[in-house]
Structure 1
């Protein structure tokens, strides 16, 4: 059995429980997410935030604890090393090993029956208790359909559908959910799968979207659908909406547009174009609205300025412009979504070792 450490948390854990997974490098952005939760918390509810980590420093823990100084908000930290041991978590691209930590939540929080899981690259622009109150009785979790993935299935990248069907074993790939925001029925998950089984699946191979794929493989569409406003995927590079999700069925496009008009959670998902480096990114203004009250504001501003002034930062920006403003639009024009030519090029790229964004 993996280690259980929830007894180390000096928190009530009797109302809204929120779980993050984070490394020291990502603490400034976690701080912004936490600030957004605090700013929108109801005075009549209790909010306990648990951060799963391997390396957040004591100094950062103190800073984050001081940040959550409201009477009805608490924070605690759980070290996952005892649970993971020497397990190597496969990852690639912009993904980090911390993404797998959510799979340990059922075991690490044995006395908690339900918890929200949030990625650290997002802001909450509503009372998150509204998500927590969703009824997940009899289901392992609640989540939003992944509009981006469904758009890829329907023509943007036709290798995705067969991958989800044949390699993940999903009954209907259109049921694939986005795992950056979850309402986890921890009690149900403990009844249906062990953390050892989760980790065994995670380390069997390099999944395209890592533990998100593992969760979808296990759940296979048996989840409560919540509206995409609870996980609005920012219009990455201002291409996601017009180039990827545009291929999705009408109901998916309509729900995404509704979410864009009234987002409760804005998820800055993608390999780059994050608002702390690109102030013209979709909904960057809201990120900075909450960042202004973060104790890490100066550090976040410093990283932005360094990315603008340093040689490495400028080179990265030029690369991003070349790829996403030049190569990708040209590729979409020469190889339209859903075309045989596009499918052949993508399959050749993947065969040569290309990876997903």
Structure 2
């Protein structure tokens, strides 16, 4: 038996994915078998080889090319822009993992901007019961009043602390297939064109609401200037804008650089940090504010999740 782990990346995210995978390998049990699959649409031959060459005797790293037809219904409209800024299809790939890999009834998904500090088998072995998936509440927005308002007024999720971050997921793959999650996703997306700063995450929160197992915060520790570091995080997730390859003093940054030093991408990552200017950092902070401010415009949309839920059950 193998433990399946998935990432979804675009080509430019290869260096960060390599660091994350290295951290997973460093903590993998030599007596267990792991299969890491990276879902991509386009990747250079050089990057593909560098990732696959990370394979060990018991950790197998594979590249899987996403079928253009599967993501064709996801159009490049502004409502599908990540954080209201730009369109990247890769954020949606995770929604199709259960359909694409019917051989697995359970699997782990990780964003590429993560560091694994424990055997990922410990997460895989968590009992999902009859829940659709397991994830942690989104602590990165816990202290952002406008985004808390967005979750209540636009998403209609109460209390907003229920709202999960889907950068770390334990999938009940069989339930996703049996309940036809993808069909529900296509239907809601085509009918309502919901505007969300986090499109993929919003759909998972809404469609699976009350069928989500909330994990302890150690499984998705995110930099947050309003909180102290979580001691001994099992997974660190550099969510939103504060990446260690852009900010020297980012919370949990030491975890990233300790692993990065052991990869072929270390010099490239250090150069990214050196080349990222104070002006760039200010833009990142401004972008965070813009994302929060977007809430005010979403509230005025004809269709928001909260409005639609008054007349239709969007849950699976």
TM bracket (short chain) = 0.7 to 0.9
SS at match of 1:260: coil
Aligned: 1:22 with 2:9 = yes
**Alpha-carbon contact 1:231-1:265 (below 8 Å) kept:** yes
Contiguous gaps of at least 5 residues in structure 1: 1-13, 242-256, 308-312, 329-345
Contiguous gaps of at least 5 residues in structure 2: 300-316
Cα RMSD over matched residues?
Answer: 2.7
- 1:202/1:289 CA distance change after superposition, 3 Å: farther
Given candidates 79, 99, 107, the residue that maps to 1:107 is 99
For 2:205, the equivalent position in structure 1 comes to 216
Once residues 275 and 142 of structure 2 are traced to their aligned partners in structure 1, the CA distance between those partners, rounded to angstroms, is: 36
**Alpha-carbon contact 2:246-2:281 (below 8 Å) kept:** no
> How big is the shift at 1:305?
2.4
Given candidates 162, 168, 186, the residue that maps to 2:155 is 168
- 1:168/1:45 CA distance change after superposition, 3 Å: same
TM-superposition CA deviations, 1:221-266 (whole Å, max 9, x none)? 322221110101122xxx242xxxxxxxxxxxxxxx6x71110100
Given candidates 61, 65, 72, the residue that maps to 2:58 is 72
- 1:83/1:281 CA distance change after superposition, 3 Å: same
Higher helix share goes to which structure?
A: 1
Once residues 124 and 199 of structure 2 are traced to their aligned partners in structure 1, the CA distance between those partners, rounded to angstroms, is: 25
Aligned: 1:122 with 2:114 = yes
TM-superposition CA deviations, 1:181-232 (whole Å, max 9, x none)? 0100010111112423223434522213211110000111322221110101
For 1:252, the equivalent position in structure 2 comes to none
Map 1:286-301 → 2, pairs under 5 A: 286-301=255-270
For 1:146, the equivalent position in structure 2 comes to 138
- 1:202/1:73 CA distance change after superposition, 3 Å: farther
For 2:216, the equivalent position in structure 1 comes to 227
> How big is the shift at 1:298?
2.2
**Alpha-carbon contact 1:41-1:127 (below 8 Å) kept:** yes
**Alpha-carbon contact 1:176-1:221 (below 8 Å) kept:** no
For 2:304, the equivalent position in structure 1 comes to none
- 1:107/1:284 CA distance change after superposition, 3 Å: same
Once residues 253 and 200 of structure 2 are traced to their aligned partners in structure 1, the CA distance between those partners, rounded to angstroms, is: 27
Q: Which has the larger radius of gyration?
A: 1
**Alpha-carbon contact 1:170-1:221 (below 8 Å) kept:** no
Once residues 186 and 18 of structure 2 are traced to their aligned partners in structure 1, the CA distance between those partners, rounded to angstroms, is: 28
TM-superposition CA deviations, 1:94-146 (whole Å, max 9, x none)? 67331111001111111111111111111111111111100113110111122
SS at match of 2:218: helix
**Alpha-carbon contact 1:202-1:211 (below 8 Å) kept:** no
**Alpha-carbon contact 2:136-2:220 (below 8 Å) kept:** yes
- 1:45/1:116 CA distance change after superposition, 3 Å: same
**Alpha-carbon contact 1:67-1:295 (below 8 Å) kept:** no
